[in-house]
């Protein structure tokens, strides 16, 4: 019989590079090895060194492939090329581009290496000094377990077996203490103080020791494991480690704990990603919901920075939910009887066409010499992609720059050095006189954004040494007017619009659910279009907004009535719209995810039936109404800001100018004219009795 061949283990380029030998004294590989020896001397964590070694290995491998062997060959342009290489690199597991946060991590390790080279005087200048990172925000955990789900997972263990008791003790400790799996892996028997209900974590993350409280229930399961399992089934165990395999040996790695917890989550049929960290999240969110201060939760979790713990304050939003319940008009209405057993219509409404690739304007396809305005503008737009700017922002900037560059081309201005403040002032006058497609003058906001795009473009040229000074630096931007929402519906008008969809039809139920979610949560149309099924938490009555405006996550409350219509849509309408599995929450008549523009068209149709013919901001009408109505009912502005996802409270303050019920009341009670109403009315009656004045 032929011998079985074992598959060769995959070795990544970042691992292979360290096996190479470099005889060059200032070779980049030799210096990198010295860097890690220095980290060991400085008592850096083994896990930190392992992670840095892997990430820096990719940079070294890329340098060798690009024939960069000496450290003096690396400059700022080479670092920028490596950044472009990272943006095009694919993940091995997901077969997709690596995330911007991962790219930041890889760049950060390279920058740390070059800072060390400068301190050790191997190089004079830091080539990474001006490297720009992608904008990053702390992401909220997409999948979290509530208290009932945790109990369901814990109850999956078979307590008639030694393995089941051990696994129950493992999960009870993780849930009670919020330990990381690596901290549990290194936990020893002498680290337990069961009499006081404490666990001593030795050299946790950041090599920090800390004491963590352990709950009474977890202590009982630990005692049961120590007495009935560890002391009996593992009598010959010489290991001092707390949790052992059934053979009496220490686990090979923390990954084994991941497998154990994941097994029981799958058995419980809970379709949420994660393992040990799900119990850590559940512990933190549960304590905050129970009234624990964020400082105490921070100490339990071992976070060095309070901002890391603050993500759980956005997951647990009891105050925000209470304000929403007390002030949102829809929360005061009676529960509705919703129609059931609907059938799908033959004609789908508002199909979502396939996403088309962005059309490139012929202007950008024209060939022009290098280092002229247009090629440099293309490099600037590529630079914006590397900085993590949104595609929508880049598209708008491309349009503004094209307008400016076409204006320059018509006047035979092709090189950036020919642009000065006088030229920019002439262009500003041109935009002031320019008309849009409707024959109207450009708005102040458009003209302002146009000059901001030009300013950013020339700032980039200065940074890249194409210009010595920025000609747009001293250009004054036009003052933007502070607008307030033009159409703010009353609660009664909103109810009329909500009742417009025919809820005896499949698409009518869907449309009503869309309206209810818009009005209850105040989310933007893009945020609603991007919602997936897992983002709705019916148990906690919340919605997770992932990658909202500014790449920020937030969790916001949703009213009971909106959840009722969502439930009806998911059970009665959505299965008829599409039989295929789709992650997105709302689907078009063709069973595909909505585009934001399609949502606007859908709502605009109903607004026209209502008699409102606004051409802009159809979806925002519900957002404005929700914010105004809650403010009128007494909600604090900071809660409205949190729900709407505004980074600045000044943006939310526009609704205080719309919601003027209190101002009207104060005006009626305090204005001096109210002190003399009788005399004023008498004069008016006397004037009415006189003959009308004759025309001269």
CA–CA gap between residue 533 and residue 410 (Å, rounded): 52
Is residue 247 part of the annotated active site? The answer reads no
Of the candidates 230, 328, 546, 646, the residue annotated as catalytic is 646
CA distance 14 to 20: 11
- Ramachandran sector of residue 98 (left: φ over 0; alpha: ψ -120 to 50; beta: rest): beta
Give me the torsion for CA of 584, 602, 338, 623, rounded to 10°. 80
User: Is the torsion defined by CA of 680, 686, 688, 694 positive or negative?
Assistant: negative
Region of residue 383 (left: phi > 0; alpha: psi -120 to 50; beta: else) = alpha
Respond yes or no: is residue 85 known to be catalytic.
no
Radius of gyration of the chain (CA): 32
Intra-chain end-to-end CA distance of the chain, in Å: 124
d(CA 55, CA 111): 11
Name 27's Cβ contacts closer than 8 Å, sequence gap at least 6.
69, 70, 71
Among the listed residues 230, 303, 324, 620, the single catalytic one is 620
Among the options 168, 524, 592, 624, which is catalytic? 524
Task: Give Cα separations from 35 to 21, 110, 115, 124 (angstroms).
Answer: 16, 11, 11, 17
Q: Quick check: 660 and 487 in contact, CB under 8 A?
A: no
Strand pairing category for 554-557 and 542-545: antiparallel
344 Cβ neighbours under 8 A, 6+ residues apart: 506, 576, 577
CA distance 310 to 417: 49
Among the options 142, 152, 210, 549, which is catalytic?
Answer: 549
Q: Is residue 524 annotated as part of the catalytic site, yes or no?
A: yes
Q: Is 320 in contact with 556 (CB distance < 8 Å)?
A: yes
Q: Among 166, 512, 623, 629, which one carries the catalytic annotation?
A: 623
Q: Is 411 an active-site residue?
A: no
Q: Is 646 part of the annotated catalytic residue set? A: yes
Contacts for 290 with CB less than 8 Å, ≥ 6 apart: none
Quick one: how far is CA 586 from the chain centroid?
A: 20
Q: Is 623 one of the annotated active-site residues of the chain?
A: yes
Which residues are the active-site residues?
Answer: 524, 549, 620, 623, 646, 655
């Amino acid at each position: 019989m032929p011998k079985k061949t074992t598959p060769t283990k995959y070795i990544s380029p970042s691992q292979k590079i360290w096996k190479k030998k470099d005889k060059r004294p200032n070779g980049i590989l030799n210096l990198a090895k010295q860097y890690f020896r220095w980290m060991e001397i400085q008592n850096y964590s083994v896990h930190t060194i392992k992670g840095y070694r892997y990430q820096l290995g990719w940079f070294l491998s890329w340098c060798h492939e690009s024939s960069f062997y000496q450290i003096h060959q690396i400059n700022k342009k080479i670092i920028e090329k490596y950044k472009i290489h990272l943006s095009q690199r694919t993940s091995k597991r997901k077969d997709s581009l690596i995330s911007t946060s991962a790219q930041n991590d890889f760049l950060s390790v390279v920058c740390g290496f070059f800072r060390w080279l400068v301190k050790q005087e191997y190089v004079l200048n830091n080539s990474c000094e001006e490297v720009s990172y992608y904008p990053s925000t702390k992401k909220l955990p997409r999948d979290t377990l509530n208290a009932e789900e945790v109990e369901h997972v814990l109850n999956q263990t078979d307590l008639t077996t030694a393995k089941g008791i051990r696994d129950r003790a493992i999960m009870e400790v993780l849930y009670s203490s919020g330990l990381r799996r690596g901290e549990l892996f290194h936990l020893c028997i002498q680290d337990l103080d069961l009499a006081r209900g404490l666990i001593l974590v030795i050299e946790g993350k950041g090599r920090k020791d800390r004491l963590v409280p352990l709950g009474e229930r977890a202590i009982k399961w630990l005692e049961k494991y120590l007495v009935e399992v560890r002391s009996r089934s593992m009598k010959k165990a010489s290991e001092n480690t707390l949790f052992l395999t059934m053979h009496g040996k220490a686990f090979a790695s923390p990954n084994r704990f991941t497998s154990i917890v994941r097994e029981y989550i799958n058995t419980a049929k809970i379709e949420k990603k994660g393992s040990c960290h799900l119990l850590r999240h559940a512990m933190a969110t549960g304590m905050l919901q129970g009234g624990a201060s964020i400082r105490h939760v921070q100490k339990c979790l071992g976070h060095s920075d309070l901002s890391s713990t603050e993500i759980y304050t956005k997951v647990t939003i009891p105050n925000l939910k209470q304000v929403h319940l007390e002030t949102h008009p829809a929360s005061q209405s009676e529960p509705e009887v919703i129609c059931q057993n609907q059938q799908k219509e033959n004609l789908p409404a508002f199909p979502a066409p396939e996403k088309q690739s962005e059309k490139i304007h012929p202007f950008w396809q024209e060939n022009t010499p290098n280092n002229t305005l247009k090629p440099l503008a293309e490099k600037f737009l590529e630079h914006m992609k590397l900085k993590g700017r949104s595609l929508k922002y880049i598209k708008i900037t491309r349009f503004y720059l094209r307008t400016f560059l076409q204006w320059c081309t018509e006047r035979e201005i092709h090189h950036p050095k020919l642009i000065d403040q006088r030229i920019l002032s002439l262009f500003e006058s041109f935009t002031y006189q320019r008309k849009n497609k409707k024959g109207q003058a450009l708005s102040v906001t458009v003209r302002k954004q146009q000059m901001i795009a030009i300013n950013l473009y020339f700032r980039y040229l200065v940074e890249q040494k194409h210009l010595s000074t920025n000609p747009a630096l001293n250009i004054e931007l036009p003052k933007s007017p502070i607008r307030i929402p033009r159409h703010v519906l009353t609660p009664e008008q909103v109810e009329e619009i909500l009742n417009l969809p025919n809820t005896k039809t499949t698409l009518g139920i869907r449309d009503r659910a869309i309206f209810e979610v818009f009005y209850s949560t105040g989310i933007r149309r893009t945020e609603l279009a991007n919602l997936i099924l897992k983002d709705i938490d019916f148990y906690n009555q919340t919605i997770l907004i992932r990658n909202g405006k500014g790449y920020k996550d937030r969790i916001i409350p949703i009213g009971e009535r909106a959840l009722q219509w969502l439930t009806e849509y998911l059970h009665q309408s959505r299965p008829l719209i599409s039989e295929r599995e789709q992650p997105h929450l709302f689907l078009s008549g063709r069973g595909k995810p909505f585009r934001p523009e399609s949502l606007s068209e859908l709502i605009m149709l109903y607004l026209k039936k209502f008699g409102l013919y606004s051409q802009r901001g159809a979806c925002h009408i519900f957002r404005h109404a929700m914010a105004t109505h809650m403010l009128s009912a007494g909600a604090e502005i900071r809660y409205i800001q949190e729900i709407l996802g505004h980074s600045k409270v000044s943006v939310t303050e526009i609704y205080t100018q719309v919601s003027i019920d209190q101002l009207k009341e104060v005006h009626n009670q305090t204005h001096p004219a109210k002190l003399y109403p009788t005399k004023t009315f008498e004069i008016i009656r006397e004037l009415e009795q006189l003959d009308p004045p004759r025309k001269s």
